[in-house]
Amino acid sequence: MKNKTIAYFFGLCCVTDILSNTFGISILHSIAKPLLMPSLMLLLVMETGPVKDKRFLLMLLGLFFGWLGDVLLMFETMQPIFFILGLVGFLIGHLFYIFYFRQIASVITLTKKGNLFFILPVAIYVVVLLYLLFPSLGALKIPVTVYAVVLSAMLCMALWLYYKIDFQIALLFIVGATCFVISDSVLAINKFYQSFPAAGFIIMSTYCLAQYLIVRGAIKVHQNKFDGKEAIG
């Protein structure tokens, strides 16, 4: 029951932040957004029990840097440097997710062979998006490009899990990573290419869903307590 309460609290924070963005209620945004990642971190800790390992720490660090990115981006209207700092926070968070996905793939094995065909559509998407954004990026060309490459690598690693772990768990990571790409793509398009009214709603709803699904996948991994000796499938 306590864990469900934490999940409901996260959902409440998500709805509050989305509504605050939609209706321009800055005080609610200032309260709700910094609580998003801590509530997911708490949910992860409570759901996985007392046994922790390196993989658990990687996921926790990914969430922490997501929280740091959230907080830093709240100040970008005051100083543009906070956008870069927030970008760095999320970039580091994505790196920890990549390390996490690699770690669980090495200890949870399947018999089917993987391939790398899914990299091509992701690469094409990123190239097209950067092509659209480049004329408006100015001095941010390099940092945005680096971020886009790391974000796409995170999605590719999540897709790779389809060949490595149980499908239901992999699906949580894949949909979560895809939602992250959608959220950041809409943010970039709205900021650098063409702003549109529904952008804030799409950005935050897909972002919240992304983080929640990734955490749910991690909870399932750690609840099953895979030790590297067993295979799924």
Question: Span 44-56, mean pLDDT?
Answer: 84
Q: Which residue has the higher pLDDT, 23 or 122?
A: 122
Residue 54: what pLDDT? 86
How much is the pTM?
0.92
- DSSP single-letter state for residue 108: S
DSSP state of 112: S
For residue 1 the two structure tokens come to 């029951």
pLDDT at 133 over 70: yes
Beta strands in 20-97 (DSSP E): none
Q: Which residues contact 151 (CB under 8 A, 6 or more apart)?
A: 91, 94, 126, 180, 181, 184
> Does residue 218 register a pLDDT over 70?
yes
> Residue 18 pLDDT > 70, yes or no?
yes
- The CA dihedral of 157, 70, 212, 163, to the nearest 10 degrees, is 0
**Residues 81-132: pLDDT tens digits?**
999 999 999 999 999 999 999 999 876 665 556 667 788 999 999 999 999 9
Average pLDDT, the chain: 90
Please check whether residue 213 is in contact with residue 172, taking contact to mean a CB–CB distance below 8 angstroms. yes
Residues 182-201 have pLDDT tens digits of 999 999 999 999 999 899 99
What distance in Å separates the CA atoms of residue 106 and residue 99, rounded to the nearest whole number? 11
* CA dihedral sign, ordered 105, 47, 179, 70: negative
Q: What is the pLDDT of residue 232?
A: 39
How many other CB atoms are there within 10 angstroms of residue 10's CB atom? 22
